[in-house]
Amino acid sequence: MVRFLGRDLTNNKKIKYALTTIYGIGLSRAKEILESAGLTNIDQMGTRVKDLSDEEISNLRKVLEKNYQLEGDLVRITNLNIKRLMENGSIKGRRHRAGLPVRGQRTRTNARTRRGSKKTVAGKKK
């Protein structure tokens, strides 16, 4: 089992899909990482994680640590950006603080993920 940035990569997955389990790496960035590590032909053959040699793993590790902010660093930066918006008193920051959708979505219906589960109110008797 190969371990990058505190995350175990599944042995049976193809390398480009296994890299996407790391926070901050999607499919396009995984392909970019493989190219910069010099593993393009490995990607085309569909090589699995368990078939990588030690040299290839060390190349991948060097590229990941040198060129990209991933996992804990990326989460910290994102949280600091949200905290900055909240301290500024911007509209986005207020929406974050209130637990409402930030990017202009409607809240009259929908928005259950941000607002929480539905609270029923008893009907008024006539």
Beta strands in the chain (DSSP E): 2-4, 7-9
Q: How many CB atoms lie within 10 A of CB 31?
A: 14
For 92, counting Cβ atoms within 10 Å of its Cβ (0-12 exposed, 13-18 middle, 19+ buried), the class is middle
Q: What is the CATH number of the domain that holds 7?
A: 1.10.8.50
Q: What is the pLDDT of residues 69-81, one digit of tens each?
A: 888 899 999 999 9
In terms of domains, do 7 and 28 share one?
A: yes
For 9, counting Cβ atoms within 10 Å of its Cβ (0-12 exposed, 13-18 middle, 19+ buried), the class is buried
Q: What is the pLDDT of residues 21-59, one digit of tens each?
A: 999 999 999 999 999 988 877 777 888 888 888 998 999
In terms of domains, do 39 and 76 share one?
A: no
pTM above 0.75, yes or no: no
DSSP line for 85-100: HHHHT-HHHHHHHHT-
